[in-house]
Amino acid sequence: MDIKSPAVGKVLRLSVESGAQVSRGDELMVIESMKVEIPVKAPANGRIAEFRVKAGDQIQRNLVLAVLET
C-alpha cells in the first residue's frame, strides 16, 4: 500500500525505521507545509517495506512517501 504526501512541503523527520511493524494511526513521519507540521500516519496495520524519502527532502502532493505491507 502506497502512503502518499497530503501536501507540498518538506520532510522534517521520520518517526519509525524501515522494516518497523506499525498499527493504524501510528505516526510514520512529519512533513512541513507552509510552516505547519503535518503528521503522516499509518492507514492500516502492517510493516514499513521502505521509505522513499528522507529528512530534508522537498516533496510534492501525492508523491509516494513510503510503502506499507499489510
Per-residue pLDDT of the chain (70 residues; tens, 9 = 90+): 999 999 999 999 999 999 999 999 999 999 999 999 999 999 999 999 999 999 999 999 999 999 999 9
Tell me the whole-structure pTM to 2 decimals.
Answer: 0.94
pLDDT given for residue 50 in this prediction: 97
Inter-residue contact 57 to 63 (CB < 8 Å): no
**Domains, the chain, ordered by start:** 2-69 (2.40.50.100)
**Contacts (Cβ under 8 Å, ≥6 apart) of 49:** 18, 19, 66, 67, 68, 69
